[in-house]
Structures are given as structure tokens and as C-alpha cells.
Chains A and B, each alone.
Chain A
Amino acid sequence: MILQGRSFLRRCIFSTDHKVVGIQYGITALFFLLFGFCLMLLMRWQLAYPGTPIPWIGQWLGENRAPGGVVLPEFYNELGAMHGTIMVFLGVVPLLVGAFGNYLIPLQIGAPDMAFPKLNMASYWTYLLGGLTMLVSFFVPGGAANSGWTAYPPLADIATAGQTVWLLGMVCIITSSLLGSINFITTIFQLRAEGLTFMRLPFFVWAQLITSFLLLLAFPPLEAAGILQLFDRVAATSFFLPSGLVVSGEPLKVSGGGSALLWQHLFWFLGHPEVYVILLPSMGIVTEIIVNNIRRPLYGYRTMVYSVIFLGLMSFIVWAHHMYLTGMGTALSAFFQTTTMIISIPSVVILSCLFLSLWGGSIRFNTPMLFALSFLPMFGIGGLTGLPLGVATVDIHLHDTYYVIGHFHYIVAPGTIFAIFAGIYYWFPKVTGKRMNENLGQLHFWPSLFLMNGIFMPMFIQGLAGVSRRLYDGGAQYAHAQGVLHLNVGISMCAWLLALFQIPFIVNLIWSMAKKEKAALDNPWEATTLEWAAPTPPPHGNFREIPKVYRGPYEYSVPGAAKDFTPQSEA
């Protein structure tokens, strides 16, 4: 094997092999995911028991963050801003795109590697640099960024030094995803195996292709906005600072003439496509797993492909539905509320296709399938609760309340993160040659499903009562919050228990990896797509010989066939 001549450093650390890069992305992003989750666990204490010291952990946070173990408002804001940033930009997206995309795309299209392997490695290291920059920002004077993950000016313009570090970290992350998306698109267009036409691509590859286009085209405007905010903070310009701004009773000494709305437009031009960057690969993963475990063809493959393309296009013209309350005008609101209603259609089409696929299937309820199946109703709840937010009149009441938190967390937490878990359980045998433990998997799944709903369902109630999402004490000073504040204790309990029930997963992951025996099978799930035709684990170069493709991706239970699945590479 070619690999044997290489040093450990080249093989496992500075490797250009897409699989190694994918695993590096995966492990790093799982750590960030856990870290971002822990930040939230601290916040949940403050929300459940405002003003009381955090037991055990509180004393380790430092006097400038939590004197006597009681979280300071400033530190609470840091936790909030960094929870959002880390979860979205360093956890979920790198897992979905960096880890799953990198590992699976070349395998599923029958390619020996990515089109630009060195660029791929550079993408990971830039991402890691961005992530470490974000972590370091906790230790600069004034702490980490504390103006929310959306970094709205004027607040972000005049915030402490952590915000500048945040911007530098974002520049690294944006660069990394730019390198990645160029690589993904080029790979999918150029390196498909012979016979693998676009309509024979697994749905996961389609989802990644559209996602890459979103990353490629939506991130640069945020980079532009980041550059302008850096100018504001470092060169004292006023891009986002209007004239006559007064801070703490003092007129701000800047030229003025800028606009805070400008930031919001540029930010949400990325921000909304980013939602689909999170959603589409999740749908891709879930589709692969569901279709494999129902043992019948996917219902409406073409419809799903057209829907995902349409989703990608539409996601560029819905951004200002985050801005109904900014006073941008009713004409703009009307436009964006129309496009928002339209974009819900392709999502529902995809969801319906997946539900309809279940009909008449002989379903195998293994751990990956359970996670994938639960994605459907969880995403359904998240999506449908989003519709009222898309209507300007209703949004005026619900904007910036816990309703919004509940809505998008249903999509990103029990939705997307369940898809990530499903993917890990499903592809683990290909990556390691070993299988994860089924019992521990169930012990991970059922409590997680229950607790996720325990966390986010009550937030809808709090939000409908009008409780703002950004309050340090959870709204204790507001009369309208009094009736729903008690829910915070239950939510926090669920969150901490959820952390507890991630332990079976971590144990399962490490224990299964350390197992001695190999499941010698290359195709343990009896799947049809090309990654299962590669040796296990796939060596550098992936395939014994470059495969040829003779059929569509999901030929399960074909009448007259010898077995209930026909791999794409089978003539």
C-alpha cells in the first residue's frame, strides 16, 4: 500500500486524504459541539435559579466572570453569543459539511479523492485556527464576544475587545468554508465515475452540492460585513453607526452617517442560506439512511432533487424575514413574507416524499434509522412553527421571544443533530470496520428524543407569553413572564439530563473503536451506493478499481432481482 511509506505525521495529521480530513473535521467539531453545549448548560442554571451560585463548577469560572459562582450579566451575554457561534459555525456545519461531506462525497461518486486535496487540508487547518481564535477570545480583556451570535451593531461596534477577535475568527471560518465549497463543487462536477449521471447521484451528494453553492455565494457578503465591522472597531469608521448616537449619556465621538440596518442585511444574506446549509445535508443523511432501512426505492427522487435546487435558489431571497421589526418598510416586508411562504413548499415536498417512502416498506428499526425517523417529525415541528414567524403581523408579537428559540432549535437540535448522530451510527462501520453497540445506541436515542422535546416544547409556551430570549434572569422582572417562569426549572433539568444521556454515545464511540474484532463485511447494511463497494476502511485512493455505475442510487427490492438490493456498481 502506498500509505506505508509515509510518516505518521503525513498520514494522520497533515494528510491530504479526504477521509483523514473528514475524520479530523468530525472529531474537532464534536469537541466544539460538546463545548458549545456546556456553555448552554451554564446558562440554563442562571435561567432556572437566577442569582444563585452554580454548584461545583461556579468556583472555577473566575472572579471576573462569576464572583462567588454567580454568573455576571456580561458573562451570561458571552455565553449566549459564543454558544450560538460555536454551535453553528464550529460544530454543526463542520460536522455536516466538513466531516460527512468530505468523507462521503468522493466515495459516493466513485472518485479517488477530492479534486484539490491540498486545498482540502488547508480548509481544515484554517477552520481549526478560526476555532482556536474563538476559544482564545474568552481570555482577552472584557471576555469573549458578547453581542449575540448575530453581532448586531451599534452594540457590537462599541463592545469589548472580544468582538474584534470574534471577527478575526469568523474571517478564518469563512475562508475555510470557501476553500471547502470550491472543492466540493469541483469534485462533484469533475470526478463522478463513469456512468454516474446527475440523476443517478445519491440524494446526499445533491444536498451537499446545493449546500456548497450556498456556502460559496452567501458567505462572502458576511465577510464583506465583517471587514466593515473591523473597520468600525479598529479604524473608528461609522459604517454601522448612525449620527447622533449616545452611549451611557455621552455622545459617541464618531463621524456617524452609517446604518445599523446595513449590517443586518449583509448578515442575514448569509444567515438565512446558512439555515439551509444546516438543513440540506441533514436531509441528505436522513434520506440515505431511511431509504436503506425501508428496503424499497425512494418515493419521488426527481421531485426531491428539483425541490432541493429550488430551495437553494429561494434561500437567497428570504433573508429580510428576520428583520420585520427593523422598520425597513411594509413593502419590503410584504415581499419577503411572500418568498418565505413559497420556500416552505419545497421543504414540505421533501418531507412528504420521505414520509411517503415509508409506506409499504419493511422497516428495520436500528439506531441510525431511529434517529433518522425522529428527524422527520422534529424537523416538521421546527418547520411548521416557523411559518407564523414568516408572517410579519404575527412576528411582531413573537420576534426575539423564546418561541423563536424553540422554533429554530427544533430544526438544529433534535433535527440536525439527530441527523448527525444517525449518520455517525450508520457510516461508522465503513469508517472503522467495526459496528457500534445497538443497546447503547438505544439508550442514547430514547432519552435524547424525550429530553429534546422536554427542553424545546415549553419554550413555545414561554414565547407565546412574550418572554424575551435575551434576558439574564429569564424575565423575572416582567409581569407577563410570571406565569411561565416556572417552566425554566423543568427545561434546565431536561438539558442537564440530556448531557447525561450523551455519555452512552461517547462510551459507545470510544469502546466500539477500541474493539478488537472486525466486522469483515464491506456492506453491513446491504446498501446500494458506491461507498459500500469500497474496501473497509477505505484505503488512500478509495477503490480497488475505479467503479462504473450502471443504475440509479436506490434500487431496493427490484422485482426479479436475486437479492433485495442492487448496488450501483453492479452490471
Chain B
Amino acid sequence: MSVMNTAIPYTVEARPETGLYNAKLGMWLFLASEVMLFGGLFSAYVFLRMAAAHWPAGSSILSIPLGAVNTVVLITSSITMSLASAAVKERKFDQFKVNLGLTILLALVFLSVKSFEYGMKFSHHMYPKTNTFLAIYFALTGVHVLHVLGGLVVNAYFWGPGSRMGQADPQRFANRIEIAGLYWNFVDVVWILLFVTLYLL
């Protein structure tokens, strides 16, 4: 029997009709499902708040300055992520390393501030079980923190051992960074929504 052609098409180059390579479409679909996940959680927030007799103002429980700092941190990291993606497309690997490194550092800053916030709540005996506001706060931000952690691990891999592909197969590597960037921007957008709903509204 002749040798079968097992190569999967459009792993690197885009399919002309859709204008997308496989992984990019896959990432968009994944983000669509993520929208539904956070959509479910946000609607839980709306539902609980509408049903509640009394709902505390976010600012009375949460620290707006810390939330604002984290918002700036994540937005900046989105910018450095985009710069990293642009750099690797132009095969400027030094710039890429600097920018992706900054993205990783900023993610670490975000997580540190977040854990400081959590610690502050716990030290004041404010737990998820204390009231519905804190429950939804910990659930929403907790799921978001998991997403930040996931992005951090993937980015760290691309910065470290994964970056070897940048020399061997630069186009495929640029694709990888591009879709990692899509994900990272999504995580950023979710945080902005979280900041507005939980801290400000």
C-alpha cells in the first residue's frame, strides 16, 4: 500500500476562504466559550444582586486603588504582549524576549497584588461564606486568577524552552505568539469588566 499523506493542511498558512490558520480559528472558538463561561458567572452576579434586599457598595469592601493599579498593570501587559507578537513577526527575537519577559513580570505583579488583596480580606475575617457579595467576588476573581495563571505558564514556556521554535520554524512560532496574545488580551478585557462591576458599581 502506498504511503498515506497524513499532513494536516492549514496548520501554519491560512485557508484562503476563511483567512485563518487552524489554531487561530480554534482560539477564537475557545474564547467564544470563555465568553459564555464568564457570561454565566456575570449573570449570576446580576441575578443575585437583583434578588438581594441589600447590596453593599463595592468600594466599601474592596480597595479601589489596588484594583486600579492592577487594571493598569494588566493593560500594560496587554500592550507588551502585542509588542512581543509584532516583534516575533518581524523576526526581532531580542525585542520579542524583552516584551514577553515584561508581560510575564507584569502578570506576576498582578498576581502579587491580588494575593495581597485576598490576604487582607482573610485577615479581616472576610471569607466567601461571609456574604453573597464576597462569595461572588471570590468566585469571579478566583476563576479569573486561574486564567491569568494559565496564561502565565504558557507565556513562560514560550519565553523559555518553547522559544527554540522561533529559530527552527519562525512562522509557526509567530502564529503561536499571536494566539497566546489573543488569549492574553481576553484575560485583560475580563479583568476590566470585573473591576468595573465589582469595585466601581
In the complex the two chains form, is B48's CB within 8 Å of A190's CB? no
Nearest neighbor of B38 in chain A, beta-carbon distance:
A224
Question: A216 touching B29 by the CB < 8 A rule?
Answer: yes
Give chain A interface residues in 505-541, CB to chain B under 8 Å: 535, 539-541
Binds A, one of B100-108, B114-122, B130-138, B191-199: B130-138
Contact of B48 among A181, A259, A541 (CB under 8 A): A259
Smallest beta-carbon distance A14→chain B, Å: 17
Selected interface stretch from A144-152, A233-241, A492-500: A233-241
- Which one of B14-22, B155-163, B171-179 contacts A? B14-22
Please determine whether A220 and B8 come into contact, CB atoms closer than 8 angstroms. no
A455 CB within 8 Å of chain B = no
Contact among A190, A216, A265, A535 with B10 in the assembled complex (CB-CB below 8 Å) = A190
Q: Is B168 an interface residue (CB 8 A)?
A: no
Chain B residues whose CB sits within 8 angstroms of the CB of A216 once the complex forms: 29, 32-33, 36
Instruction: List chain B residues, Cβ under 8 A from A546.
Output: 5
Please report the total number of A residues contacting B with Cβ < 8 Å.
56
Contact in complex: B18, A220 (CB < 8 Å)? no
A305 close to B (CB within 8 Å): no
Proximity string of chain A (463-504) to chain B, C-beta cutoff 8 Å, 1 when within and 0 when not? 000000000000000000000000000000000000000000
Given contacts A266-B40, A269-B40, contact A1 B135 (CB under 8 A): no
Which of B18, B32, B39, B135 is the one whose CB lies under 8 Å from A239? B135
Q: Smallest Cβ distance from A460 to chain B, in angstroms?
A: 35
Q: A220, B40: Cβ atoms under 8 Å?
A: yes
B129 touching A262, Cβ below 8 Å: no
Contacts A221-B40, A541-B6, A544-B2 hold; do A259 and B135 have CB atoms under 8 A apart?
no
B76 to chain A, nearest CB (A): 29
Which residues in A have their C-beta under 8 angstroms from that of B30?
Answer: 178, 182
- Write the B34-57 contact mask toward A (1 if CB under 8 angstroms, else 0): 101111110110011001100000
Checking A112, A225, A237 against B129 with a beta-carbon cut-off of 8 angstroms, the contacting residue is: A237
A189: which B residues are within 8 A, CB to CB? 15, 18, 25
How far is it, in angstroms, between the C-alpha of A113 and the C-alpha of B34 when the chains are bound? Answer: 26
Q: Which residues of B contact A117 (CB under 8 A)?
A: 8
- Report the Cα distance A237→B139, complex, angstroms: 10
How distant is A480 from chain B, measured CB to nearest CB, in Å? Answer: 35
Minimal Cβ-Cβ distance residue in B for A3 = B4
Shortest Cβ distance from residue B143 to the other chain A in the assembled complex, whole angstroms? 6
Q: Is the CB of A255 within 8 A of B129?
A: yes
Contact at A221–B37, with CB atoms within 8 Å?
Answer: yes
Contact B4 A262 (CB under 8 A): no
With beta carbons under 8 angstroms apart, the residue of B39, B52, B138 that contacts A221 is B39
**Complexed CA–CA distance, A261 and B40 (Å):** 14
Closest CB-CB distance, A104 to chain B, in whole Å?
17
State whether A259 touches B51 (Cβ < 8 A): yes
Distance of A399 Cα from B12 Cα, bound (Å)? 53
For chain A residues 183-207, which have a beta carbon within 8 Å of chain B?
183, 185-186, 189-191
- Contact yes or no, A231 B18, CB < 8 A: no
Contact among B20, B39, B47, B51 with A190 in the assembled complex (CB-CB below 8 Å): B20
**Chain B contacts with A in 68-86, Cβ cutoff 8 A:** none
Given contacts A255-B130, A541-B4, contact A190 B18 (CB under 8 A): yes
From residue B34, how far is it (CB to closest CB) to chain A in Å?
7
Task: Say whether, besides A217-B33, A220-B36, A238 and B5 are in contact (CB < 8 Å).
Answer: no
- B48 contacts which chain A residues (CB < 8 A)? 239, 257-259, 262
A543 at the interface (CB under 8 A from B): yes
Whether B33 pairs with A178 at a CB distance below 8 angstroms is yes
Q: Mark A256-296, 1 if CB is under 8 A from B, else 0.
A: 01110110011001000000000000000000000000000
B135/A237 in contact, CB under 8 A: yes
Residue in B closest to A541 when the chains form the complex, CB atoms? B4
Residues from chain A with Cβ under 8 Å of B40 in the complex: 220-225, 266, 269
| From B18, B40, B41, B136, residue with most partner A Cβ within 10 Å | B40
Question: Residue on A with the closest CB to B129?
Answer: A236
* In-complex Cβ contact of A217 among B36, B138, B143 (8 A): B36
Q: Is A319 an interface residue (CB 8 A)?
A: no
Check if A116 is an interface residue, CB within 8 A of chain B.
yes
Please give me the residue from chain B that is nearest to A198 by CB atom.
Answer: B17
User: What is the CB-to-nearest-CB distance from A106 to chain B, in angstroms, rounded to a whole number?
Assistant: 9
Complex Cα distance, B43 from A128, in Å, reads 31
- Beta-carbon contacts under 8 Å, A160-193 to B: 178, 181-183, 185-186, 189-191
A228 adjacent to chain B (CB < 8 Å): yes
Complex contact B44–A190 (CB within 8 A) = no
Which of A2, A114, A259 is the one whose CB lies under 8 Å from B4? Answer: A2
- Is A254 an interface position by the 8 A CB rule? yes
Residues of B within 8 A of A218 (CB): 36
**B149 → A minimal CB distance (Å):** 15
Q: Please tell me if B201 contacts chain A, counting CB pairs below 8 Å.
A: no
Q: Let me know if B10 and A182 touch, CB within 8 A.
A: no
Provide the bound-state CA to CA distance between A209 and B130, in Å.
Answer: 44
Enumerate chain A residues within 8 angstroms of B128, measured Cβ to Cβ.
Answer: 231, 235-237
Chain A, residue nearest B22 (CB): A115
Residue A250 lies at the interface, judged by CB distance under 8 Å to chain B: no
CB neighbours of B138 from chain A (8 A): 231, 235, 237
Q: Is A227 an interface residue (CB 8 A)?
A: yes
Q: A: which residues have CB within 8 A of B?
A: 1-2, 111-117, 119, 178, 181-183, 185-186, 189-191, 216-225, 227-228, 231, 235-239, 254-255, 257-259, 261-262, 265-266, 269, 535, 539-546
Given contacts A223-B37, A235-B127, A238-B129, 15 further A-B contacts (CB under 8 A): A1-B3, A2-B4, A186-B25, A189-B25, A190-B9, A190-B20, A191-B9, A191-B22, A218-B36, A224-B44, A257-B131, A261-B47, A265-B47, A266-B43, A543-B5
Residue contacts A-B, CB under 8 angstroms, 18 given:
A115-B22, A117-B8, A182-B29, A189-B25, A190-B20, A190-B21, A221-B36, A225-B44, A237-B128, A238-B132, A239-B135, A255-B130, A258-B132, A265-B47, A539-B4, A540-B6, A542-B4, A545-B5
Q: Which 8 A-B pairs have the closest CB atoms?
A: A541-B4, A224-B40, A221-B40, A220-B37, A541-B6, A237-B135, A220-B36, A236-B129
